Structure 1
Amino acid sequence: MIRLSTPLGDEVLSLKAGERVSLSGMIYTARDEAHLRMQEKGIPFDPQGAAVYHCGPVVKDNTIIAAGPTTSARMNELSGFLVDAGVRALIGKGGMGETVRKELRAEGVYLAFTGGCAALAASRMTLKGVFFEDLGMPEAVWAIECRDLPLTVAIDSEGNDLFFDVRRKAEKRFDKMF
């Protein structure tokens, strides 16, 4: 397991699709509405070396109760401005599209977290703040300190895509069967 800490630097450029990593440090949640608000009003945190987690956490009494990932493909057309601003890692569930693969080339990585493990994620997180709170719990940008969040490199900085490669191999096997 490769240990990473935010803010992230050029070390992410050597990661390869399929490798397991452990992430510690500040991360920021953002779903659809948060991406749109940041495009309109600006990024409320320092994006240099940041990690953005596609997540709408459940927060009660300033404690994160659950923090499972949302489907990252929903942010395919909304992520480029973050990468351009210096964000080095996007985190979420499922694959992302060709647009994101191109945007991440030589800039950063997409890290996958297993869906259904919201309690595991929350057990490794401490709430530090919130931006755009008026968007409501799932859509606000939450600033979170994480400790050893287990992730898999799904898209590396060379454009290798774990989800795409697995899907392509399965399709080839299926085609050979018929």
Structure 2
Amino acid sequence: MSEQYIQTPLTNEVIDSLQVGQMVYISGTVYTARDAAHKRLVEMIQKNEPLPFDFTGQIVYYAGPCPNKPGFVIGSVGPTTSGRMDAYAPLLIEHGLKGMIGKGLRDDGVKEAIVKYKGVYFAAIGGAAALMSQCITHVDIIAFEDLGTEAIRKLTVKNLPVIVAIDAKGNDVYLK
């Protein structure tokens, strides 16, 4: 299986080309958000409030970056266990989110939303947080600054390495 270089925002054509187990390198914009931010985003959708960014075609990285050291754009930024977002992810996918980056299994509701709305779940390499941070060229906090490391950040990434864990057909690398 070949590796693939992709650009955000994701299109359905790109998502259809991705296969479970494939190595992918992402460039463009990726947003960070963990469970506290997901809870707030879902509440905003339920109240019909404007969201801090347009989900259409976007990727959310389940991460809470460490503070940056002088001279660095960001500190280590490793993946958080994705299952903590499973209660919230289907609604975000329904509202246009196309990709998620994290680690670990996803529940059936997330997989069903991925297939129904054409999305993809990428696994980041756990233990490689320092490597991941080297792929980030710019960071802005865009929402929920009061959450500290769990604030939503807009990252500009270049060749962020991930593996397709669940593709748009519902194939799951964890269940092979």
Once the two structures are TM-superposed, the CA of residue 77 in structure 1 deviates from its matched residue by 1.1
Report the residue type matching 1:71 in the other structure. Answer: T
Distance 1:157 1:12 in 2: 7
1:82 aligns with 2:92: yes
Q: Which moved more, 1:70-79 or 1:42-51?
A: 42-51
Structure having the higher Rg = 1
Work out which of the residue numbers 43, 56, 61 in structure 2 matches 1:40.
43
Work out which of the residue numbers 132, 137, 154 in structure 1 matches 2:144.
132
- Say whether the 8 Å CA contact 1:13–1:109 is kept in structure 2: no
1:8 aligns with 2:10: yes
- Say whether the 8 Å CA contact 1:57–1:65 is kept in structure 2: yes
| Residue 168 of structure 1: aligned partner | none
| Residue 107 of structure 2: aligned partner | 97
Is the partner of 1:65 in helix, strand or coil?
coil
- Say whether the 8 Å CA contact 1:63–1:127 is kept in structure 2: yes
Once the two structures are TM-superposed, the CA of residue 27 in structure 1 deviates from its matched residue by 0.3
Number of aligned positions between the proteins: 164
TM-score by length of 1: 0.87
| Residue 122 of structure 2: aligned partner | 111
Q: Deviations over 1:46-94 (max 9, x none)?
A: 1111000000011336821110000001111110121111111111011
Segments ≥4 residues shifted beyond 6 Å:
none
Report the residue type matching 2:31 in the other structure. Answer: Y
Distance 2:85 2:114 in 1: 14
Is the partner of 1:143 in helix, strand or coil?
strand
> What are the ranges of 5 or more consecutive residues in structure 1 without an aligned counterpart?
166-178
Report the residue type matching 2:39 in the other structure. Answer: L
> What are the ranges of 5 or more consecutive residues in structure 2 without an aligned counterpart?
45-49
Distance 1:127 1:32 in 2: 23
RMSD: 1.4
- Say whether the 8 Å CA contact 2:73–2:139 is kept in structure 1: no
- Say whether the 8 Å CA contact 1:68–1:118 is kept in structure 2: yes
Aligned identity (percent) is: 41
- Say whether the 8 Å CA contact 2:135–2:159 is kept in structure 1: yes
Distance 1:93 1:31 in 2: 12
Once the two structures are TM-superposed, the CA of residue 127 in structure 1 deviates from its matched residue by 3.2
Q: Deviations over 1:105-157 (max 9, x none)?
A: 051100001110000010010333111101112x1111100100111100011
- Say whether the 8 Å CA contact 2:74–2:139 is kept in structure 1: no
Distance 1:148 1:65 in 2: 17
| Residue 120 of structure 1: aligned partner | 131
